[in-house]
Amino acid sequence: MTERRRYTYLPRLGLRPGLAETVAERLDAAFADAPAQLDALDAGCGRKSALTGYRKRIRRFIGIDIHPPRPGALPHLDAFELVDVCGDPSAIEAGSFDVVLSSFTVEHFTDPARAFANLRRWLRPQGRLVLTTVNRRHPFVALYLGIPKWLQRPAQRLLKASPADAHPLVGICNDPARVRAGLEAAGFVDVRVVSVPHLSRAWGRHLPFFLLGVLGDLLMQPFPSRRSTLVADARVPA
């Protein structure tokens, strides 16, 4: 059974809303009342970006990460820069962007407070942030984040959709209350944090782990605050 065919069964099991549609809803809102074109930042851009679907609405599309991409791996970007979101705030000029997306980065932040403050600084007034991260309130995620460091990388290589996604985990700020509090402390307003079932896709590289992810999603589906993945969005005040 291919991964694509596996995933077609998930909505039938009641595993909704999905991560992609939830992120798209938040980004739709970010672009809805905006000028014709916006400046967008993908903070922790990896290899793919949900912002590519909005490319015609984006005037300047910048990606940052702490890992350099392979040559030609990010054709959708106008530019890529090696920047640590938890690092020097002056690495990016203040008020440079209208929209920032940060996908599955919070669990790697060594200093979430500084990272959230930087993201807010790099956004313009009324700018919007959309981020996704894992939720420590899910028991499987808590176990995953809590295993010894020397076991984390081998476990990631087995569980992740690609071995290239295996990066050191920290998990300081990975529950709904801490994400909300961190964003509000950084000066964001209109903060929304929701959770969605996503283990089955995140762990979908091998069939046994896909099935384990399905079980984890099904067990926590009745408990919204304990679903595996958090989606947060927030706004910079005018």
What are the strands of the beta sheet with 58-65, ordered from one edge? 79-82, 58-65, 38-43, 97-103, 123-134, 229-235, 189-196
CA within 13 Å, CB half, 192:
13
Dist CA 48 CA 103 (whole Å): 10
In DSSP notation, the chain reads --HHHHHHTTGGGT--S-HHHHHHHHHHHHHHTS-S-EEEEEET--S--GGGGGGGGEEEEEEEESSPPPTTS-TT-SEEEE--TTS-GGGS-TT-EEEEEEES-GGG-S-HHHHHHHHHHHEEEEEEEEEEEE-TTSHHHHHHHHS-HHHHHHHHHHHSSSGGG------TT-SHHHHHHHHHHTT-EEEEEEEE--HHHHTTTSHHHHHHHHHHHHHHTT-GGGSSEEEEEEE---
pLDDT in tens, the chain (238 residues): 455 667 776 777 777 788 999 999 999 999 987 777 899 999 988 778 999 999 999 999 999 998 888 888 888 899 999 999 999 999 999 999 999 999 999 999 999 999 999 999 999 999 999 999 999 999 999 998 888 877 877 777 777 655 555 566 788 999 999 999 999 999 999 999 999 999 988 888 788 888 999 999 999 999 999 999 999 999 999 9
Contact present, 61 and 55 (Cβ < 8 Å): yes
Q: Which of 146, 152, 151 is nearest to 165 (CA)?
A: 152
Contact present, 160 and 205 (Cβ < 8 Å): yes
> pTM score, two decimals?
0.91
Q: Which of 177, 155, 152 is nearest to 230 (CA)?
A: 177
Contact present, 156 and 107 (Cβ < 8 Å): no
Dist CA 15 CA 10 (whole Å): 6
